[in-house]
Amino acid sequence: MESEEFIAWAIDPGLRVAVLLMACLTGYVTLDMARRVPAACGWVGRWWLAGSALALGTGLWSIHFIGLAGDVLPFGIGYGGFVALAAWAVAVLACGLALRIGVVRAPSLARLGVAGSVLGAGVLATLAVCFVGMRISPALAWHPLWAAGVAGCAALGGMLALGLSLYLKTRFGRVARQLVAALLLGLALSASHVMSTLAARVPFDAVSLNHFSTASNGTLALLASVGTAALLLLLLLLSVIEARMNKALHRAIGRIDEAARTDTLTALPNRMSFDQQLEAAASQADRKGMPLALLFVALDGFKPINDSFGRRVGDLALQEIAQRLQGLARSGDLVARVGGDEFVLLMVRDAHKDGAAKMAQRVLVAMADPCELEGRQAVVSCSVGVVLYPQHGGHTTAMLHADAAARAVKRSGGATYAFFEQQMLTGVGEQLDLLRDLRMALAKQQLELYYQPKIHAPSGEITGAEALMRWHHPQRGMVSPAVFIPIAERYGLIAALGNWVIDEACRQARVWRDEGLRMRVAINLSVHQLRHPDLPERIADALARHQINPMLLTCEITESVAMEDPQATMKIFERLAAVGVHISIDDFGTGYSSLSYLRKLPAQELKIDRSFVLDLETSADARAVVDAVVKLAQALGLKVVAEGVETERQRDVLIQMGCDELQGFLFAKPMSARALLLWASDDREREVAFKPSLFGETRPVSDQELLAHRRAATSTVPQPPTPSKPDSAWSRLIGFADTLPSGSSKL
How high is the pLDDT of residue 79?
83
Query: Mind listing the domains of the chain with CATH numbers?
Result: 2-233 (no CATH), 271-424 (3.30.70.270), 432-583+661-739 (3.20.20.450)
- Helices 217-261, 42-67: crossing angle, 10 deg rounding: 150
Residue type (1 letter), 431: Q
The CA distance from 605 to 559, in Å, is 12
Q: Strand, coil or helix: what is 594?
A: coil
How high is the pLDDT of residue 546?
93
Q: Which of 562, 545, 543, 563 lies closest to 554 in space, CA to CA?
A: 543
The CA distance from 100 to 103, in Å, is 6
Q: Where are the beta strands (DSSP E) in 171-290?
A: 200-203, 207-208
Mean pLDDT by 10 residues, the chain (747 residues): 68 87 91 82 83 92 86 81 87 91 78 89 90 86 90 89 72 77 90 89 84 68 84 89 83 78 88 89 90 94 75 86 93 90 93 92 90 79 93 86 88 87 70 82 87 88 88 84 77 84 93 85 86 88 93 87 74 89 82 62 85 84 86 87 91 91 89 83 47 35 38 32 33 34 29
- Helices 353-368, 311-328: crossing angle, 10 deg rounding: 140
Pseudo-torsion of CA 44, 50, 56, 62, nearest 10°? -130
Q: Which of 62, 55, 481, 67 lies closest to 234 in space, CA to CA?
A: 55
Angle (CA) 375-379-383 rounded to 5° is 150
The CA distance from 690 to 453, in Å, is 12
Burial of 109 from C-beta contacts in 10 A (0-12 / 13-18 / 19+): exposed
Do 113 and 121 contact (CB within 8 A), yes or no? no
Phi-psi region of 658 (alpha: psi -120 to 50; beta: other; left: phi over 0): left
How high is the pLDDT of residue 605?
86
Q: Which residues pair with 663 in a beta bridge?
A: 643
Pseudo-torsion of CA 12, 18, 22, 27, nearest 10°? 80
Structure pTM?
0.46
Q: Strand, coil or helix: what is 136?
A: strand
How high is the pLDDT of residue 699?
38
Percent composition of the chain: helix, strand, coil (DSSP 3-state, to 5): 55, 15, 30
3-class secondary structure per residue, 628-650: HHHHHHHHCCCEEEEECCCCHHH
